[in-house]
Amino acid sequence: MAFIATVSLADGTPMPRFGMGTWYLGESAHAHDRELAALRAGLDAGVRLIDTAEMYGSGAAERLVGEAIRGYNREELFLVSKVYPHNAGRPEIFESVEASLERLGTDYLDMYLLHWRGAVPLSETVECMEELVEDGVIRHWGVSNFDADDLEELYGVFCGDHCAVNQDLYHLGSRGVEYEILPWMRSAGMPLMAYCPLAQAGDLRRGLVSDPAVVEVAHRHGASPLQILLAFVLRDPMVVAIPRSGDAAHVLENIAACDIELSGDDLSLLSSSFPAPAHPVPLDIV
């Protein structure tokens, strides 16, 4: 069983620092058994956090997660789902969360995120999220694709500072969040959920996985370049990584990356190819 560290949310709740993403999972009948086995392999190996959304496959990913978690102790799991921006107000959000719960086969979410900012005022979304917490439908709420200005604005809204996490794109080849967002979140005690931590197997940044620095550090650790990408985001104790895989062997390889500790030398080498930002960078999204 892998050891997966946790990070404390502002209220002290432990949140696993490694989870399984689910974008594109559950969409193909042909891949169903393989993807279900991948999620189950992760659960059997000790992964407890799963990240999903009503958007993914229009509910198909949530349905697959519901199938995967059947038989596991719900209280030990940490389920994260997301509401579409156009559903993040009343009354839609209450219908959205109920539909997510139904597909997941559970009666509460550990974390409910606003997927990205839309036209619904933040104050209305926060009010609804707070009601959902009060009613026990969700345990925490957070946001996604927020930059530092968005977080600042959120904190200006009544109860906006109850936001538990922000989920943004973060991988070695896209380090913009390190300039302003991560420091802001660190000072607020708010963990960052890093999405696309594998840069979608390198597709989001040409040359990332084959970069000589990445290959050299991988060689030093007897690891794969993708494992080094995971170890890179996980080096920060305020960061949670949620790589997605529909392949059981890949899931196990990703979990094993939790044990890789990058040295100062490793980080300098990686930074020589992919430097930390020296000035503000627009928020990267997919």
Minimum distance from residue 250 beta carbon to ligand NAP (Å): 4
| Structural tokens at position 169 | 């794109």
Interface residue with ligand NAP among 47, 109, 164, 199 (CB under 6 A) is 199
Q: Which stretch binds ligand NAP (CB under 6 A): 123-131, 181-189, 196-204, 258-266?
A: 196-204
Residues of span 55-114 touching ligand NAP by CB under 6 A: none
Rounded distance between C-alpha atoms, residue 283 and residue 221, angstroms: 31
Instruction: Compare residues 262 and 279 and give the one whose CB is closer to ligand NAP.
Output: 262
Contact 254, 248 (CB under 8 A): no
Instruction: Compare residues 160 and 243 and give the one whose CB is closer to ligand NAP.
Output: 243
Specify whether 108 is catalytic.
no
Q: Which residue is nearest to ligand NAP (CB)?
A: 21
Interface residue with ligand NAP among 9, 16, 18, 23 (CB under 6 A) is 23
Minimum distance from residue 110 beta carbon to ligand NAP (Å): 14
Q: Which stretch binds ligand NAP (CB under 6 A): 62-70, 86-94, 191-199, 269-277?
A: 191-199
Instruction: Compare residues 63 and 244 and give the one whose CB is closer to ligand NAP.
Output: 244
Task: Check binding of 42 to ligand NAP (CB under 6 A).
Answer: no
List the catalytic residue out of 24, 56, 155, 179.
56
Task: Check binding of 245 to ligand NAP (CB under 6 A).
Answer: yes
Interface residue with ligand NAP among 6, 13, 123, 200 (CB under 6 A) is 200
Task: Check binding of 138 to ligand NAP (CB under 6 A).
Answer: no
Task: Check binding of 175 to ligand NAP (CB under 6 A).
Answer: no
219 among annotated binding-site residues = no
Task: Check binding of 286 to ligand NAP (CB under 6 A).
Answer: yes
Residues with Cβ < 8 Å from 252, sequence gap 6 or more? 41, 42, 45
Interface residue with ligand NAP among 226, 228, 260, 262 (CB under 6 A) is 226
| Structural tokens at position 183 | 């420091």
Active-site residue numbers? 56
Residues that bind ligand NAP (CB under 6 A): 21-23, 51, 115, 144-145, 167, 195-201, 226, 242-247, 250, 253-254, 286
